[in-house]
Every structure is written in structure tokens, then in C-alpha cells.
Amino acid sequence: MTDSKATLKASSKASSKVQGSTQNKLPPKENFSEWYHELLMTAEIIDNRYPVKGMCVWFPFGFAIRKNVYGIIRELLDPDHQETQFPLMIPENEFMKEAQHIKGFEDEVYWVTCGGTTPLDVKLALRPTSETAIYPMFKLWIRSHADLPLRIYQIVNTFRYETKHTRPLIRLREITSFKEAHTVHATWEEAAAQVEVAIQRYSEFYRRLAIPFLVSRRPSWDKFPGADYTTAIDVIMPDGRTLQVGTAHHLGSTFARTYEITYEAENGEQKLVNQTCYGISERCIAALISVHGDERGLVLPWVVAPTQVVIVPILLGDKEKVIDVCRHLQQKLAAAQFRVQLDTSDERPGAKFYRWEMKGVPIRLEVGPRDIEKGVVTMARRDGVKIALPIDGLERSLIVQAEELQAAIYNKARLFAENKVKEASSIAEAREMTKFGVALVPWCGEEDCGHQLEDQVEANLLGEPQYQSFTEAACAVCGAKTAKRTYMARQY
């Protein structure tokens, strides 16, 4: 009796102490929604307090991450794409031309109907995506086979009046960072090859972010409105739901017909062009944050971290000397092209550690009298590794550490993702699996069976995995023999 009381008292005392020292700790990641919202705010990525539903403000720190992330996209596209910029507003007559396309978007369009107090003769749509802004211009730009292929992209904001509840970076009414590429080709086959190129570039992009992903061909009822087919990239989020983080659409000649985009072939014949478009939005940053982050905050890959190395001085003894050594170190690392910061703020070292961990800084260097005496710095990596490194040749050893960190966070993410994808041979199994992850289900490919799957499993069909082959199995609905599979998941 007395014992248990004493234990209780001791533990409650301990827990209150823990509470006192961990006030800014995030909720557990298992509670993903709460964790996600708090992290966005505490790590200063997105301020969700802007008073319009579905429209958020980028904190400067979040925007710095965005700049680095989109820098990679530019780097990957720039060799054979040209960056451009089209207007935000699209006249109603152009917007309404392509019937299939309108059907997909008309409930989500914001309309500008007045200029000041004067009603407009022609309403203006805020782009939900830019096909109908860009393709009338393509008609003017493209005259001959020599103009093809044409590949452009723009990184712009788009507007969609979402009726489901919005989520920062994931479901927005203003998408602030929509990278949309649009390409034009002579033949259907060339366009199909371009879709493959797009998927390869996106794959490389997510590899650099150390994010594992799934590639699948969307079922016909879930393709982009007006497309021949859609290939998509999905990321498995911590709660097992999937987030579509990239799409590539083969548009065939659908828009070419509507917007009369033709070219003169070598033989003088006027032919319709074939087109593709492919996009990535700030959802890639939602994935980045969610896949790698932990209860201490962000974990950023080296390539996108606004601060790659932070130096925390341990001010004991000869403080002047410690600061001096830190400054030299900072200069040395800056000269070696590291994004390095020296934290001289008036806080305890521990408080600084927590702060920079929340910001996801890959490498922290602690420099105190003990280190200086030995000619080392104490290096703490964001994945928990903590060792002493000699100041001599530090630049090189930090690069090694950065590579190891990249490998470590990728492996952690890959293990998680692999554990979330399981084969299911029946509807019942698929239904169980999609509660916490992704099911790989035999599907004959018939639309009827697909709809039944979605209804009965109570999850969405992501589509047929690409670049994989499977053994024959029975379609989970009709039982027909098939070598096809589909991913199924609950989607964001």
C-alpha cells in the first residue's frame, strides 16, 4: 500500500517534470493529423491562420525549403524544358471549349465577374490548371514539324474551390506552387515516351528527397479530364493513407482538336499535335515533412535544408576563445559551400539543440573548451548519431556524414513503406489492409470489377503498378485469371 503510493507519487512527480521540460514536444506521430498541423506551425513552415479557408501563408523558413525543393525540379527540367509564365485568368469562352475538361473542373472554378463595379462581358476563370490558358497560344506558336517537340513549364498558383475539408499543403483552395509542364509532339508514340520521361524525372526528384513512392496507371474513371491516360506517383503517409504527389497525362489529340493545334508535316499535310502535361504541387513538401519528420520535428535531407550545418558554441571558461574558434569554423565551412549558421543567441545549449532539431537541420556541431583542447568538434546528426570529428579535414568528413544521413533516412522511409504494402487475394483481405496501408489486389482490369472493388473494400483504386510484373492470379471480384494487379488505398 505504502509502496504503491510512493511509486505513484514518484512517477507523477517524474511525469510532471517531463511535462515541464517538454512543453514544445509534438504530439506522437501516430496521431498523424495533429502531429502534422503542429509541426507546420512549430517548425515555421506554414501559417494556417490566414482568414480564408484553404489559403495559407508560407513562413520564410518554409519558403526557403520550398525554394530548395523547387530548385531540384528546375534542375531536372531545365535541360530540355523552357520555363515560362501564363496569366492567372482565363476567359470563359476559352475555358468552356473542351467539354470533358470542363466536366472535371467546373464545380471548382472561381469566377471573376466584375471589374470594379462594372460587370464583365466575358467572365474570367481563375486557373484551376492552365491547359485552357496555354493551348490557345500553342495554336499560334506551332506551325511546322520544326517547332516540335515543344516543352515548357511554369510554377504558379492555381485556384480550386474545394468543398471537402482543406488541409495545409495537401488540399488547398489556392495551390501556391503548382509546377505544370506542357509538351507538344508530332506523334502519339512520342507523347507516350514523354510521359515516361516525366515519370523518370519525378522519380529522380523523389529519390533526391529520400522519399519512397509508388507508380501506377490510374483507372480510366480517375484519369485527368480529357486525357487518354494518367500515370501517377503516390507516397504512403504515416497513417497509411496515400498522397498523390505527381501525375503525368497523355492528352492524345483531344485538346489539339478543340484548340485546333496543328502542324505542317514534312509532306505538307496539316496534322493534329499530340500533347502531354504533368504536374507536381506543394504536396511534395507535405510528403517530405511527413515521411521523414519525427516527434522532435522536421528531418530535412541535406539537399533541401535551408541550414545544413549549425554550430552551437558551448560557452564555458574562455568564452572569447570558443566564439573565435566557432567563427573560424563557420567561415571555413561557408567557403566550402555549406549552408552554415552559427547560433550565438543568448540561450542555453540544450534549448538551441531542441530548436534546431525542430527545424530539421541535418548536422549540428557543438564546440566547447573540451573539443577545442582535443582539436575536434562534436557532431550530432539529425538521425541520432553523435561523434567527435577532427577539425582538420572537417569539410570532407561532413560530406561523408551528409551522405550517410541521406542513406539512413531513405532506408528508414523505405522500410516503413515496404511494410505498408501487402498483397491481398480477396476483398476481405484488401479491406483489412487498406485500414493501415496499401493493398496489392489482383484485378482483371474490367471497369465493373474495379467499381465493385472500390465499393466493397471501401478504398480507392490507385491503378496498375508500373515497371513490375506479377504471376497469374484470380481477379478478386470476378475470379478471371489475370497477371494484373492494382494498388488500393485510402487516399488524401
Partner RNA sequence: GGGGCCAUAGGGUAGCCUGGUAUCCUACAGGACUGGGGGUCCUGUGACCGGCGUUCAAAUCGCCGUGGCCCCA
The nearest distance, CB 107 to RNA, in angstroms, is 7
- Residues 444, 396: Cα–Cα separation, whole Å: 54
Q: Is 312 helix (H, G, I), strand (E, B) or coil?
A: strand
Which CB sits closer to RNA, 37 or 332?
37
Which CB sits closer to RNA, 33 or 468?
33
Q: Out of 166, 220, 397, 426, point to the residue binding RNA (CB under 7 A).
A: 166
- Under the binding rule (CB under 7 A), the answer on residue 347 touching RNA is yes
The nearest distance, CB 101 to RNA, in angstroms, is 20
Dmax over CA atoms of the chain, in Å, equals: 99
E-assigned strand segments in 48-164: 57-58, 82-83, 89-91, 111-115, 118-126, 150-159
Burial class (CB in 10 A: 0-12, 13-18, 19+), 153: buried
- Under the binding rule (CB under 7 A), the answer on residue 37 touching RNA is yes
Q: Phi first, then psi: give them for residue 466, nearest 5 degrees.
A: -100, 155
- Under the binding rule (CB under 7 A), the answer on residue 98 touching RNA is no
Which CB sits closer to RNA, 448 or 455?
455
Q: Out of 11, 15, 16, 24, point to the residue binding RNA (CB under 7 A).
A: 24
Buried b (16+ CB within 10 A) or exposed e, 17-39: eeeeeeeebbeebeebeebbbbb
- Residues 477, 458: Cα–Cα separation, whole Å: 14
The nearest distance, CB 228 to RNA, in angstroms, is 28
Which CB sits closer to RNA, 332 or 451?
451
Q: Out of 205, 259, 353, 443, point to the residue binding RNA (CB under 7 A).
A: 353
The torsion of the CA quartet 219, 224, 229, 233, rounded to 10 degrees, works out to: -70
Which CB sits closer to RNA, 128 or 465?
128
Q: Out of 91, 238, 349, 445, point to the residue binding RNA (CB under 7 A).
A: 349
- Under the binding rule (CB under 7 A), the answer on residue 368 touching RNA is yes
- Residues 94, 135: Cα–Cα separation, whole Å: 9
Q: Out of 341, 378, 434, 486, point to the residue binding RNA (CB under 7 A).
A: 378
List the beta bridge partners of residue 250: 229, 276
- Under the binding rule (CB under 7 A), the answer on residue 5 touching RNA is no
Q: Which stretch binds RNA (CB under 7 A): 108-116, 243-251, 363-371, 410-418?
A: 363-371
Q: Out of 97, 139, 217, 296, point to the residue binding RNA (CB under 7 A).
A: 296
Which CB sits closer to RNA, 109 or 380?
380
Q: Out of 99, 265, 316, 428, point to the residue binding RNA (CB under 7 A).
A: 316
- Under the binding rule (CB under 7 A), the answer on residue 15 touching RNA is no
- Under the binding rule (CB under 7 A), the answer on residue 357 touching RNA is yes
DSSP assignment of 274-306 equals EEEEEEE-THHHHHHHHHH-BTTB----TTT-S
How many residues of this chain interact with RNA, rule: CB under 7 A?
Answer: 48
Name the pairing type of β-strands 309-313 and 340-342: parallel
- The secondary structure of 329-358, three-state, reads HHHHHHHCCCCEEECCCCCCHHHHHHHHHH
- Under the binding rule (CB under 7 A), the answer on residue 25 touching RNA is yes
- Under the binding rule (CB under 7 A), the answer on residue 49 touching RNA is yes
Query: What are the grid coordinates assigned to 94, written together?
Result: 476559352
The nearest distance, CB 316 to RNA, in angstroms, is 5
- Under the binding rule (CB under 7 A), the answer on residue 41 touching RNA is yes
- Terminal-residue alpha carbon distance, the chain: 51
- Whether residue 302 contacts residue 339, with contact meaning beta carbons closer than 8 Å, is answered with no
Q: Out of 112, 114, 265, 351, point to the residue binding RNA (CB under 7 A).
A: 351
- Under the binding rule (CB under 7 A), the answer on residue 16 touching RNA is no
- Under the binding rule (CB under 7 A), the answer on residue 370 touching RNA is yes
CA 108, 113, 119 angle in degrees (round to 5)? 165
Which CB sits closer to RNA, 215 or 380?
380
Which CB sits closer to RNA, 185 or 355?
355
From residue 212, alpha-carbon distances to 266, 327, 356 in Å are 44, 38, 25
Which residues, in sequence order, are CB contacts of 470 under 8 Å at separation 6+?
Answer: 442, 483, 484, 485
Burial class (CB in 10 A: 0-12, 13-18, 19+), 81: middle
- Under the binding rule (CB under 7 A), the answer on residue 371 touching RNA is yes
Q: Which stretch binds RNA (CB under 7 A): 122-130, 133-141, 310-318, 422-430?
A: 310-318
Closest CA to 287 of 363, 180, 212: 212
Q: Which stretch binds RNA (CB under 7 A): 131-139, 244-252, 347-355, 392-400?
A: 347-355
- Under the binding rule (CB under 7 A), the answer on residue 180 touching RNA is no
- Under the binding rule (CB under 7 A), the answer on residue 164 touching RNA is yes
Which residues from 253-282 bind RNA, rule CB under 7 A? none
- Under the binding rule (CB under 7 A), the answer on residue 354 touching RNA is yes
Q: Which stretch binds RNA (CB under 7 A): 34-42, 75-83, 120-128, 222-230?
A: 34-42
- Whether residue 356 contacts residue 332, with contact meaning beta carbons closer than 8 Å, is answered with no
Closest CA to 139 of 254, 224, 257: 257
- Whether residue 173 contacts residue 55, with contact meaning beta carbons closer than 8 Å, is answered with yes
What residues line the site for RNA (CB under 7 A)?
A: 20-25, 33-34, 37, 41, 48-49, 51-54, 163-168, 296, 314-316, 319, 346-351, 353-355, 357-358, 366-371, 378, 380, 386, 458
